[in-house]
Amino acid sequence: MQGDSVSDSASVTARRLAAAALAAGALVSVVTLPASAADHARPHGPKVKIAALQYDSPGREDRSNRSLNNEWVDLTNTTRDAVNLDGWTLKDDHGRTYTFHHYRLAPRATVRVHSGEGRDTRKDLFQDRRNYVWDNDRGTATLRNDRNRPVDDFSWGRHQGGGHGGGHQGGGHGGGHGGGHDARR
Ligand SMILES: [Ca+2]
Ligand SMILES: [Ca+2]
Is there a single domain that holds both residue 18 and residue 56? no
Taking the CA of 115 as reference, the closest ligand is: 1
Give residues with Cβ within 8 angstroms of 130, minimum separation 6.
Answer: 63, 68, 116, 117
Confidence (pLDDT) at 178 = 39
What's the CA-to-centroid distance between 139 and ligand 2, angstroms? 15
Residue 173 lies in a domain: no
Whole-angstrom distance, CA of residue 155 vs CA of residue 147: 22
Output the CA–CA distances (angstroms, integers) from residue 2 to 5, 8, 14, 57, in the order listed: 5, 10, 18, 74
Is there a single domain that holds both residue 79 and residue 106? yes
Is there a single domain that holds both residue 149 and residue 90? yes
What's the CA-to-centroid distance between 71 and ligand 1, angstroms? 6
What's the CA-to-centroid distance between 178 and ligand 1, angstroms? 20
Taking the CA of 57 as reference, the closest ligand is: 2
Residue 69 lies in a domain: yes
Whole-angstrom distance, CA of residue 40 vs CA of residue 174: 18
Taking the CA of 61 as reference, the closest ligand is: 2
- Range of 128's domain? 43-167
Confidence (pLDDT) at 44 = 76
Task: Please say whether the beta carbons of 86 and 108 come within 8 A.
Answer: no
Residue 34 lies in a domain: yes
Is there a single domain that holds both residue 158 and residue 81? yes
Confidence (pLDDT) at 45 = 87
Domain count, the chain: 2
Is there a single domain that holds both residue 60 and residue 106? yes
Is there a single domain that holds both residue 126 and residue 83? yes
Residue 98 lies in a domain: yes
Task: Please say whether the beta carbons of 121 and 103 come within 8 A.
Answer: no
Task: Please say whether the beta carbons of 179 and 156 come within 8 A.
Answer: no
What's the CA-to-centroid distance between 53 and ligand 1, angstroms? 10
Q: To 5 degrees, how large is the angle CA 100–CA 106–CA 107?
A: 130
Confidence (pLDDT) at 92 = 96
Residue 176 lies in a domain: no
Taking the CA of 71 as reference, the closest ligand is: 1
Is there a single domain that holds both residue 57 and residue 134? yes
Closest CA to 91 of 150, 157, 158: 150
What's the CA-to-centroid distance between 55 and ligand 1, angstroms? 4
Is there a single domain that holds both residue 130 and residue 68? yes
Is there a single domain that holds both residue 155 and residue 88? yes
What's the CA-to-centroid distance between 158 and ligand 1, angstroms? 15
Confidence (pLDDT) at 25 = 52
Closest CA to 165 of 141, 131, 132: 141
Is there a single domain that holds both residue 19 and residue 109? no
Is there a single domain that holds both residue 57 and residue 130? yes
Closest CA to 98 of 78, 113, 77: 113
Residue 72, domain CATH: 2.60.40.1260
Residues with beta carbon < 5 A to ion ligand 1? 55, 71, 132, 134, 136
Confidence (pLDDT) at 124 = 98
Q: Which residues of the chain have pLDDT under 50?
A: 1-3, 5, 27-41, 161-164, 170-185
Is there a single domain that holds both residue 130 and residue 62? yes
First-to-last C-alpha distance (Å) of the chain: 51
- Following CA atoms 79, 80, 86, 89 in sequence, which dihedral angle do they give, to the nearest 10 degrees? 10
Closest CA to 154 of 182, 4, 165: 165
